[in-house]
Amino acid sequence: MAEIASGEPVRASRALLAAGLGTPDGAWVEACAVTFCAHNDPTMLRAGLLVLGHVARRFGALNAAAAHRVLARLAADPMVEGDVNDLREDLRQLGIL
């Protein structure tokens, strides 16, 4: 998906969200979401966190080590603190954390 790689935060985030809800390749979507979680733009950070939750719910699994790294790195970021807490709770409820 060219939009995901576009670098334009809103366009890329919309494309990632669409992929998170409809693409059958969970590993690929998860890798894209983790990449978004390393971005400085809050729109892309939030999209990455949200899509990690989508992947976990849709596929019943997530790379727990990668999820832990993302959560640890972003836990103190006030821009996405609520999103981090939401993802952490989702992963706990799904038995991934």
pLDDT band of residue 46 (cuts 50, 70, 90) is: very high
For the chain, what is the largest distance between any 2 Cα atoms, rounded to a whole number of angstroms?
Answer: 34
Mean pLDDT for all residues in the chain: 94
pLDDT tens digits for range 70-95: 999 999 999 999 999 999 999 999 99
pTM over 0.85: yes
Decide: residue 31, CB within 10 A, 0-12 exposed, 13-18 middle, 19+ buried.
Answer: middle
Q: Distance between CA atoms of 89 and 45, rounded to whole angstroms?
A: 17
Region 37-43: what's the mean pLDDT?
Answer: 94
Domain boundaries, the chain: 4-93
Q: E strand or H helix at 11, and its extent?
A: helix 9-22
What token pair was written down for 57?
A: 């719910």
Contacts of 64 (CB under 8 A, 6+ apart): 96, 97
Closest CA relative to residue 64, chosen from 39, 34, 85: 34
pLDDT of residue 2: 84
